[in-house]
Amino acid sequence: MKRSAPKTDAWNCWYIRTADTVRQRTGLSGIGQIIPFALCKRTDSQAYAVPVRGLSNKRNTLLEFLYRQPDMLCNYFKIAFRTLRKYRLFSFINIFGLASGMMICLLALIDIKGSFDVDNFHPHPERTYRLLTDVVSKTNDRVAFATSPLPLADLLTKDYDFVEGTTHFIRAYGEFDDGRKRLQPMTFWVDADFFRVFGYPILAGTAATAPHTAVLTQRMAEKFFGKANPLGKVIHYEGAGAFIVTGIIDNTSPGRSHQKFDMLLSAQSLKSEALTDWKNHREGYTYVLLKPGVTTETFEKSLASIATRTTKLIQDNKVNAYHFRAQALPDIAPAHEELMHGTYEPTYGKLATEMGVGLLTLLLAVFNYINLTLARSLSRAREVGIRKVVGGLRWQVMAQFMAESVILALLGLALAFVGLKLIEPMGFVQRWLIGGVKWGWETGLLFVVFSIVAGLLAGMVPARILSDFAPAQVLRSHTGLKVIRGISLRKSLIVVQFAVSLLAMITLYVLDRQQTYMSEGDYGFEREQVLTIPVLPGRSADKLVDAIHQQAGVTEVAATSDLFGSHPQNTQWAYRQRRQNDSLLIDCFFINHQLVPALGLQLLAGQNFTPIDAAKNRVLINEEALKGFGLGTAKEAIGQTILLGNNREVSVAGVVKNFNYAGFVWALKPLVLQYQPEKFQYLNVKVAAGSSAATVAAIAKAWKQLYPYEPFAGQWYSDYLRERHSHDDDNHFLGVLTAIAFTIACMGLLGMVTYNTETRTKEVGIRKVMGAAVHQIVWSLSSDFVRLLLIAAAIAIPLGYVAGMAILLNFAFHVSIGIETFGPCIGLLFLIGGLTIGLQTYRSAVANPVKALRSE
């Protein structure tokens, strides 16, 4: 008998026994004849018959006919594309949903990549270490600090020859001015080695190594000097003198860094006891550059020896000992532990949260895919049945469905990339997610792999379910799977989608209401018709005040050191009596006598002070200070004395009613209002109602006459509070996330309603012929989906309350959560869900019943 070599054709994979076995058991000669399927080595119990395509030349071996034609995958993808084209609505829903979820995941992946690339642009990151301090208290509690005692750097440089260089990074607080503008940049003191240890490029000029020199970032230089050349310009720092700008430094384009700053000052000008004080471990950060070849273990042993020596120098009633650790620069981010006084390195918790939000959004889209694929299972039952009858293996049927899901995921990736480019310029995205991250083809390849994996995972569940169904079983049942008490898997997924979406909406609405409350709530002082004007640094405002008083519509011109509604800049300790342990931490504002009537502050006792009272050291206090100092009632406090932190004794001229001078985040604290004209930085101009526009124009004209080269920066007090407390960029991005979640859920619901109405076309036709009204048919088709929305609302409301309260606990003064919060959210849920359900069911209900019956 002539034996042929194995051939390949359109048949699937067969495992045929050897020729001798076939001949002995069947008497068949071989090629072209039919053998029972039982002789094929398969796990299926069905006995089919297949033609023999070839026999093996070897005894006791298996001849494997593999379905491995070069065009196998092409056939899979052709069928997949035809299926997607046939069901356009379902395909669009799946592609849009997967794209939305993947867009959020791509943002998280970019941020995760950037978090592992932090500080990789410095010259020697493998040899650069930040010194951490573990502070052990008298009760043996250990707290880890990212800071360290500043004398540690000098000790390492002098006593250990394996140290190549050390540098400090010390925060400088306060305001800077150039004679025209007063700003509060994020500023640090650094020494000369900083520019050698770290690789921030100097764009122009030189590093700040000489005393009283500074370097600015390009953004801060533009804020101070605009388009003018900043080199050689002078900036004044209160309490430290004048600093000459010697260079422009770039801290953004090289890459991400855990150090954030706007200005660096030469530490040669720094006069601080912390430089020699071992007890102060909170003042600044210490970095060490080791020589090549020095191991971390050697360095750690030296730090342990130093800690033992320096513990003897600590004479603190709260601290028992120090322990120093070396943290390599590449290990700073992502942060493995929470450090006190940490910098700006991302934490694993932040990255996990971002990825969790992205995966949750993607999961909602996967639910859509599972829902719609299972819903269309009946329409594809004939396809699955035929493939299995002709011998298709289960893994081949699964591969077909999973190929479709991979194609959907890749199309979704393309749409997700477009969406990523659209939201990339958003302030929140740049500031917190992808700002400063460099990504190229490696990241693109990661995106493709991620989308393929997402597609495979999305298609796995429906592929396993559909490939396992027998044709008769599929034709008998519309749902097949049950989860809880008659609620199908598909309906359960819809409930989860809308519950998550409603939870996100409630949380965002609570946050938005709180921000609105902070920007528009009652602070206890008048802010309407009050114009705030910054005072130019180093210049007397007397002429400006006189000019403003002459304008029509101006009723009061008050001066203050800072604007109420913001965090106070001046906090100090005060005492009731000398030599007693009765200290009280107070907030101080410096005002003139016109501020009380201008902002409508209420005096409970005493009287408002006058400029003459400045020489008499008279102050105003609030009710919290009255309680804190134990001065009795408001009337009893008048004339009593307190001692401020600068050993200045003052007497109480009046007591004002409590008001929110520091915003709604912090609880009310003791407040002292003093008169010191040299501290004034803002004018608060009270304008009569009805003359706002004309008065502001007149004030701006007076400003230009006095300061022709300075822009007028007047702003209404209400606008200032709104801008300070309304985080529009953050809310817009959170709104985008919520809208995406709702859109995915609604599109999934639309697909389910569409399929439900299509499968009940004959029922609708019969009902209309029997006289059913349109509203009855609509309710019959939509009632089940309305119940799903009710179940989703019942799940999301308690979870939303818990999430909302978790947010509001961060604010001392906050809104309540009740029907005013849940009502609009639930109403919007049923409005969107109802429109999604109602429009589709109404179209089916008003259709011609003749066409409906004919379609069956």
The pLDDT, as a whole number, for residue 53 is: 42
The pLDDT, as a whole number, for residue 184 is: 84
Q: For residues 786 and 1, which has the higher predicted lDDT (pLDDT)?
A: 786
Q: What is the mean pLDDT of residues 265-270?
A: 90
The pLDDT, as a whole number, for residue 440 is: 73
The pLDDT, as a whole number, for residue 608 is: 86
Burial 2-24 (b: 16+ CB within 10 A, else e): eeeeeeeeeeebbebbbbeebee
> How confident is residue 128, by pLDDT bands cut at 50, 70 and 90?
very high
Distance from C-alpha of 208 to C-alpha of 288, rounded to nearest angstrom: 19
Instruction: Report the range of poorest mean pLDDT among 71-75, 134-138, 284-288, 726-730.
Output: 71-75
Distance from C-alpha of 346 to C-alpha of 354, rounded to nearest angstrom: 11
| 450-467 per-position pLDDT tens digit | 999 988 888 888 888 777
Rg (CA), the chain: 37
> How confident is residue 725, by pLDDT bands cut at 50, 70 and 90?
confident
Contact 227, 203 (CB under 8 A): no
The pLDDT, as a whole number, for residue 571 is: 83
From the number of C-beta atoms within 10 Å of its C-beta (0-12, 13-18, 19+), residue 406 rates as buried
Contact 822, 800 (CB under 8 A): yes
The pLDDT, as a whole number, for residue 327 is: 93
Distance from C-alpha of 587 to C-alpha of 562, rounded to nearest angstrom: 12
Query: What distance, in Å, lies between the first and last C-alpha atoms of the chain?
Result: 56
Instruction: Report the range of poorest mean pLDDT among 29-33, 161-165, 566-570.
Output: 29-33
Place of tokens 């501020």: 595
| 78-107 per-position pLDDT tens digit | 777 787 788 787 788 888 888 888 888 888
Distance from C-alpha of 503 to C-alpha of 797, rounded to nearest angstrom: 7
Q: What is the mean pLDDT of residues 353-375?
A: 81
Contact 101, 358 (CB under 8 A): yes
Which residues face 255 on adjacent strands? Answer: none
Report the range out of 10-19, 294-303, 535-544 with the highest average pLDDT.
Answer: 294-303
Distance from C-alpha of 333 to C-alpha of 117, rounded to nearest angstrom: 8
pLDDT over 50 at 359, yes or no: yes
Quote the mean pLDDT of the chain.
80
At residue 335, what are phi and psi to the nearest 5 degrees?
-75, 130
The pLDDT, as a whole number, for residue 29 is: 45
Give 337's DSSP letter: S
Beta strand 63-65 with 49-51 is unpaired
The pLDDT, as a whole number, for residue 6 is: 41
At residue 215, what are phi and psi to the nearest 5 degrees?
-120, 145
> How confident is residue 23, by pLDDT bands cut at 50, 70 and 90?
very low
> How confident is residue 616, by pLDDT bands cut at 50, 70 and 90?
low
Contact 656, 621 (CB under 8 A): yes
Give the rounded percent of residues in the chain with a pLDDT score beyond 90. 23
Q: For residues 118 and 13, which has the higher predicted lDDT (pLDDT)?
A: 118
The pLDDT, as a whole number, for residue 579 is: 60
pLDDT over 50 at 168, yes or no: yes
| 665-711 per-position pLDDT tens digit | 888 899 999 888 888 889 999 998 877 888 999 999 999 888 887 78
The pLDDT, as a whole number, for residue 193 is: 92
| 466-489 per-position pLDDT tens digit | 777 665 555 454 444 443 344 466
Q: What is the mean pLDDT of residues 255-267?
A: 92
> How confident is residue 578, by pLDDT bands cut at 50, 70 and 90?
low
pLDDT over 80 at 612, yes or no: no
Residues 6+ apart with CB under 8 A from 34: 28, 49, 50, 51, 52
Q: What is the mean pLDDT of residues 388-408?
A: 78
